[in-house]
Amino acid sequence: MKSGLKFLVAAKRCEIAALRELALTSVLVNVTGRLIHGLQRERGLSNLHIGSQGARFADVRARQIAECRQIEAELRTCFDSLDTESARVGHGARLFSRIAYALHGLDALAGLRERVDAFAWTTRQATDAYVRLIAGLLAVVFEAADSASDPEVSRLLVAMFNFMQGKEFAGQERAVGSALFASGRAEASEQQRLLHLIESQERCLQVFVEFANPKAVDLWTASQASATLAELERMRRVLCTAAAGAALNVQLSQAWFECCSQRIDRMKGVEDRLALDLLRTCEAKISAAQAELDAYQSFQTTPAREADALSFFNGAPLAAAPPDASGFGGAPQGYGLQLERSILELVQEQAHRLQTMSEELDTVRASLNERKVIERAKGLLMAHRQLSEEDAHKTMRQMAMNQNRRLIEVAEAVLAMADVLPERPR
């Protein structure tokens, strides 16, 4: 008959396997972030290229496309390395469906570039196409965050996803502003879109600050205290306050693009730090879990004192150990290292630890669940009221203000009305 210790060893092996899976996922997230960054720059350059009717930016755009192709090949290699045959991958169904969608978009990327080359699409059409592709790639990162089984890793992934999403809104702002300046004329709908993108950045960055570690937040704060941000604000005012139809200085298109790019490149530096923290955390947790497994296994061959048969009913759960010196802790350390402890004490400690992890995960995932609900509610309003994404969000935000309620509460109310809404116009 298998003992309790046998199952503790099995549980620890499962934990190590899950952590190794998270480590592979963190590598995938890192490469995905690099490709998103490259496509964001390609999107802005494509808008400048279209806006100038091919007179400018052709060479720098071609170099950017070549760089994106290299990173895309690296990402496809990461996808190929994933185990798609085993049914034991806990979040495989959701993650793999996200990857399938992203690959479909990457397969269509060549056609998008051909349309830009032929000036067959407007800057708005090109921007929307890149936005859809990048959204598909960000969905892979979101799924990684939503499925992480370790609370500390989950927090890091939530922080990284929201920072990447904020950076994507900054990239869209760069593309929209580039197209406006390149066209030489202010357009009310695009000005409203800019304002929405600026607000969306702030929302994502607030969530990032909530979940990121203090050093990453300090790095982000330091990167924003510069003349670049002041210049960006100045040009934002030029774009957003110009009367509809008023002339814009075409020569500012490149200055705008470069100013936005400097800020986004600094954001990429923070993103790289987040990716490094994620990988180091996974490695530290794997090392700690492996040491605990070794202790368990040595405990199997070492006599331990016999536990009181009734101690199961009398013993209080053991408290979790504090974080270790590396800052990666929070999990009890040294299971089995004190060989005089009974197997029951180990079982109690493991059970308490898993309960604590479950509670921490629930807290972290609440943020992601709120995002899902809000996005679903926006989609419902867009479908039934024929609204843009910006207008749907603005409508919900106004409802929240008028009713003195949180945005998530308004979103839940909108979804609750789904069954009684009229059918979508055909």
pLDDT band at 118 (very low <50, low <70, confident <90, very high): very high
- Per-residue pLDDT for 414 more than 80? no
- % of the chain surpassing 70 pLDDT: 78
Q: Which residue has the higher pLDDT, 84 or 37?
A: 37
Q: Which residue has the higher pLDDT, 7 or 136?
A: 136
pLDDT band at 110 (very low <50, low <70, confident <90, very high): very high
pLDDT band at 423 (very low <50, low <70, confident <90, very high): low
Q: Which residue has the higher pLDDT, 408 or 133?
A: 133
User: What does the pLDDT read at residue 379?
Assistant: 79
- The amino acid occupying position 325 is A
Class of domain 338-426: mainly alpha
- Round to whole Å and give the CA distance between 48 and 42: 10
The stretch 33-43 carries a mean pLDDT of 92
The stretch 247-259 carries a mean pLDDT of 90
- Per-residue pLDDT for 137 more than 90? yes
pTM reported for the whole predicted model? 0.71
pLDDT band at 421 (very low <50, low <70, confident <90, very high): low
Burial 84-111 (b: 16+ CB within 10 A, else e): eeeeeeebbeebbebbebbeebbeebee
Pick the closest to residue 144 from 379, 374, 373, 368 (CA basis). 368
The stretch 76-93 carries a mean pLDDT of 73
- Per-residue pLDDT for 115 more than 90? yes
* Phi, psi dihedral angles at 362 (to 5 degrees): -60, -40
User: What does the pLDDT read at residue 76?
Assistant: 95
- Per-residue pLDDT for 107 more than 90? yes
pLDDT band at 406 (very low <50, low <70, confident <90, very high): confident
Task: Say which residues have a Cβ less than 8 Å from residue 99's Cβ, sequence separation at least 6.
Answer: 79, 82, 140
User: What does the pLDDT read at residue 70?
Assistant: 97
**Tell me: the pLDDT tens digits for 156-210?**
888 888 899 899 999 889 888 988 888 889 998 888 889 888 988 988 898 899 8
- Measure the N-to-C terminal CA separation of the chain; round to a whole number of Å: 65
3-state secondary structure of 393: helix
**Tell me: the pLDDT tens digits for 296-341?**
777 666 554 444 555 555 555 444 444 443 333 333 333 333 333 4
- DSSP line for 161-185: HHHHHHHHHHHHHHHHHHHHHHHTB
- Per-residue pLDDT for 424 more than 80? no
Judging by beta carbons within 10 Å of its beta carbon (0-12, 13-18, 19+), is residue 364 exposed, middle or buried?
A: buried
Tell the residue number behind the tokens 């990988």, with chain if given.
279
How does DSSP classify residue 310?
Answer: T
- Per-residue pLDDT for 419 more than 70? no
Tell the residue number behind the tokens 């199952």, with chain if given.
7
User: What does the pLDDT read at residue 352?
Assistant: 56
Give the relative orientation of helices 343-385 and 407-416 as an angle to the nearest 10 degrees: 70
Whole-Å CA distances, 66 to 42, 115, 116, 243, 284: 10, 17, 15, 39, 36
Q: Which residue has the higher pLDDT, 194 or 426?
A: 194
User: What does the pLDDT read at residue 337?
Assistant: 37
User: What does the pLDDT read at residue 51?
Assistant: 82
User: What does the pLDDT read at residue 401?
Assistant: 75
User: What does the pLDDT read at residue 426?
Assistant: 44
Helix (H) or strand (E) segment spanning residue 157: helix 151-183
Residue 30 · residue 137 · CB < 8 Å: no
Among the listed ranges 59-73, 153-167, 401-415, which one has the minimum average pLDDT value? 401-415
- The amino acid occupying position 319 is A
The stretch 268-282 carries a mean pLDDT of 89
Among the listed ranges 101-110, 338-347, 362-371, which one has the minimum average pLDDT value? 338-347
- Per-residue pLDDT for 154 more than 50? yes
User: What does the pLDDT read at residue 102?
Assistant: 93
Q: Which residue has the higher pLDDT, 105 or 3?
A: 105
Residue 274 · residue 166 · CB < 8 Å: no
- Per-residue pLDDT for 52 more than 70? yes
- Round to whole Å and give the CA distance between 315 and 341: 13
- % of the chain surpassing 90 pLDDT: 23
| Boundaries of every domain in the chain | 4-285, 338-426
- Round to whole Å and give the CA distance between 247 and 33: 36
Here the contacts of 223-226 (C-beta below 8 Å, separation 24 or greater) are 223/266, 223/267, 223/269, 223/270, 224/263, 224/266, 226/266
- Per-residue pLDDT for 289 more than 60? yes
| Angle CA 233–234–235, to nearest 5 | 95
